[in-house]
Amino acid sequence: MKTMTCRALGGPCDLEHRGENADEVIKAQDRHLKDAEKAGDVTHQDARDAMKSRWRHPKKSMDWYRDTKAAFAALPEA
């Protein structure tokens, strides 16, 4: 199990997301950003917009995805 923060994934806060793999952490970040948007948290809006853009344009977002997977892989087990 490894941990990445919202900030490490491009967001504005230090909420920790834990997962067995990078995809679990990315999905947790997506849920977190959706919840923040629903709650009217404007501090997360830029990150939410970027996440929505990545899901809509997956070919353009592969660099972000690869970088995130590499960052996750480099983390120590928690």
Q: Phi, psi (5° rounding) for residue 24?
A: -65, -40
Rounded CA gap, 3 and 66, in Å? 17
Give the helix ranges, DSSP H, for 1-78.
22-38, 45-56, 62-74
The position carrying tokens 């941990």 is 3
Which one-letter amino acid corresponds to residue 58? P
pLDDT tier, 77 (very low <50, low <70, confident <90, very high otherwise): confident
Segments making up each domain of the chain, as ranges: 2-74
Q: What is the pLDDT of residues 27-74, one digit of tens each?
A: 999 999 999 999 999 999 999 998 888 878 877 788 889 999 999 999
Cβ atoms within 10 Å of 40's Cβ, excluding its own: 8
Q: Is 0.85 topped by the overall pTM?
A: yes
